[in-house]
Amino acid sequence: MVDNIFGLNQKGKALYIFFLKLIYLLNLIIIMNQITIDLGELQNSCFIVMPFDPLYQTEYEKIIHPALLELEIKCIRGDEIYSKQRIMDDIWSSIRSCRLVIAELTGRNPNVLYEVGLAHAIGKPVIILTRNAEDVPFDLKDLRYLYYDTNNPFWGEI
C-alpha cells in the first residue's frame, strides 16, 4: 500500500487535506449561491409598467391596450390583477411569464423603475415610453425609447 504518494510529511498531508476540503466547501458555496428563476409558462402577454395615475389612463386605454389587442397579445397592468397574494408577487409572476414589458418612465416613478429592473434582470424585452427624455435615467439612456408628445394634435388617434 502506498502511504505517501506525494512524498509529503505529516504536516504537508494535513495541509493538503485541508485544501481539498476547502476546495470542496467553496464548490458547495458556489453551487448553493447559484440562483435559478423559474419563469413558468410563457404567456402571449405584455405586462404594462406605469404609474397608477389618471394622467396615464388615456395613454393606456386609447393606445397601448387597443394596439396589443389588435396584435392578439393579452395586456396586463398591475392594478388589473385581483388576487389574495401580495401585489409584488402578482407583478413578479406577470413579469416572469409575459413575452415583453412596456414601461412608461415619465415622472421617474420608483415602482416603475424597480419593475423595469426586474424585467431586465431576467432578460425580458422592455419597450420604454416617455413624455420627457430627461425622465429616462442615465443607465437606460443608451437603450432606445419612444418619445411622445400629448400636446401633438394627433396624439391618441389611431
* CATH number for 87: 3.40.50.450
One domain for residues 51 and 80: yes
pLDDT of res. 3: 55
- Same-domain check for residues 96 and 22: no
- pLDDT (average), residues 75-87: 83
**158 found inside a domain:** no
Q: Look at 62 and 103; give whichever has higher pLDDT.
A: 103
> What integer pLDDT is reported at residue 75 of this predicted model?
93
Report the pLDDT averaged over residues 55-79: 90
Q: Residue 118: in which H helix or E strand, if any? A: helix 110-121
Instruction: Identify residue 157 by its one-letter amino acid code.
Output: E
Residue 31's pLDDT is 66
Other CB atoms within a 10 A radius of the CB of residue 17 amount to 11
pLDDT digits (tens, 9 = 90+) for 131-156: 888 888 888 878 888 888 777 767 66
For the record, the C-alpha cell of 69 comes out as 389587442
- Do 30 and 49 belong together in one domain? no
* Domain enclosing residue 69, as ranges: 45-147
Q: What percentage of the chain reaches a pLDDT higher than 90?
A: 39
pLDDT at res. 78 = 82
Q: Looking at residue 32, what DSSP letter applies?
A: H
Q: Which residue has the higher pLDDT, 124 or 21?
A: 124
Interatomic CA distance for residues 73 and 90, integer angstroms: 19
As a dihedral over the C-alpha atoms of residue 54, residue 57, residue 58, residue 59, rounded to 10 degrees, the angle is 120
Contact predicate 77/130, CB 8 Å? no
Instruction: Say yes or no: 21 and 94 in one domain.
Output: no
Number of domains in the chain: 2
Judged against a pLDDT cut of 50, whether residue 1 lies above it is answered with no
Under DSSP, the state recorded for 98 is -
Phi, psi of 101 (to 5 degrees): -125, 135
Q: Is the pLDDT of residue 4 over 70?
A: no
